[in-house]
Amino acid sequence: MQTEWTHQTVLLNEAVQALAINPDGHYVDATFGRGGHSRAILQRLSPQGRLTVFDKDPQAIAEAQALAARDARVALRHEGFRALGELGVASVDGVLMDLGVSSPQLDDPSRGFSFRHEGPLDMRMDTTRGQSVAQWLETVPVSTLAEVIRDYGEERFAAPIAKAIDRRRQERGPFRTTRELAEVVAGAVKTREPGKDPATRTFQALRIFINAELEELQAALEASLSVLQPQGRLVVISFHSLEDRMVKQFMARHSRTVVDRRAPFAEPAPTRLGDVQRVMPSDAEVQGNPRARSAVMRVATRSEVPA
């Protein structure tokens, strides 16, 4: 019997409200997950409205297929949201990106995302393609491994962790399970913040790297400028500092007036985003769903395209 892994959608009402939904509009849920945001969007759309959903996870896609079979307004894309630009210029009224991993992915040991459960060392969002973390760790040079752990996990013990992983694979062969890796990392990390597992940052780094999450986010953010109609909304929910910093800098860069110093008397380049906001979960939401505590939602409006 298959276990049903549940997911409590973070900032559900706030995100849908931030989209300022036009009932006849076209919206994108760029990370369908288990469909919490999508279902809330559909409740606000008329029969003429449309919703396009993206996801790489086969389990999420299966749930999205069931939803699309019941609701003709739903179009499904089994791919990462870097393909957002394929929807067409100014074809979308709002884009929602809920980043990171979902609770079912973390809680299902067979996915290999969590150091808290014994499972295969996989961590791929899309299990139908690409290398697993276990396969990548078999051959990656120590210097590259340390760089990934440092840059994607912001881990100050990246070098000793990489060396410990290398010693372990030379002595006992390839890593196969999450627990094997977590134990080696714990042995290399001498101090850690109270309440945080020593493997937290390393697992985060390997997951982000193996799924090219930051590269995909950057591509999707750039594509959003093309697909959003004037006054369309971009809503992004992040769960760690690397993602949030990228979103914050992207929105700031495109909401500033840029003057070409080589032509100081020329008209400044028009801003492409405006009305930038930051929204945090309420105390009540964090109390009811601890995974919301690190969430940050940033919202921006697509500026009018100059004639």
Residue ending a domain, among 174, 195, 210, is 210
Give me the pLDDT at residue 115, please: 78
Give me the pLDDT at residue 86, please: 95
Number of domains in the chain: 2
Domain CATH code at residue 72: 3.40.50.150
Closest CA to 122 of 101, 142, 141, 143: 101
Any domain includes 4: no
Do 94 and 131 belong to one domain? no
CA–CA separation, 242 and 237 (whole Å) = 12
Longest CA pairwise span in the chain (Å): 70
Q: Domain limits at 195?
A: 127-210
> How would DSSP label each residue in 94-116?
EEEEE-S--HHHHH-GGG---TT
Residue ending a domain, among 176, 210, 244, is 210
The sheet that has 74-77: what strands, in order across it? 74-77, 50-54, 26-29, 92-98, 228-238, 296-302, 273-279
Do 169 and 287 belong to one domain? no
Give me the pLDDT at residue 262, please: 66
CA–CA separation, 256 and 76 (whole Å) = 34
Do 220 and 185 belong to one domain? no
Do 222 and 86 belong to one domain? yes
Do 90 and 238 belong to one domain? yes
CA–CA separation, 76 and 71 (whole Å) = 11
Give me the pLDDT at residue 3, please: 46
Closest CA to 103 of 17, 153, 41, 35: 35
Do 240 and 283 belong to one domain? yes
Do 199 and 226 belong to one domain? no
Q: State the burial class of residue 11 (Cβ atoms within 10 Å of its Cβ: 0-12, 13-18, 19+).
A: buried
CA–CA separation, 68 and 74 (whole Å) = 5
CA–CA separation, 112 and 106 (whole Å) = 8
Say which DSSP state 267 is in. Answer: P
Residue ending a domain, among 210, 235, 252, is 210
The partner residues of 249 in beta bridges, in order of sequence, read: none
Do 37 and 170 belong to one domain? no
pLDDT in tens, the chain (307 residues): 344 445 678 999 999 999 999 999 999 999 998 899 999 999 999 999 999 999 999 989 999 999 999 999 999 999 999 999 999 999 999 999 999 777 677 767 778 778 777 899 999 999 888 999 999 999 999 999 999 999 999 999 999 999 999 999 999 999 999 999 999 999 999 877 777 889 999 999 999 999 999 999 999 999 999 999 999 999 999 999 999 999 999 999 999 865 556 656 556 667 899 999 999 999 999 999 888 899 999 999 999 864 3
Any domain includes 266: yes
3-state secondary structure 159-172: HHHHHHHHHHHHHH
Do 141 and 281 belong to one domain? no
Any domain includes 122: no
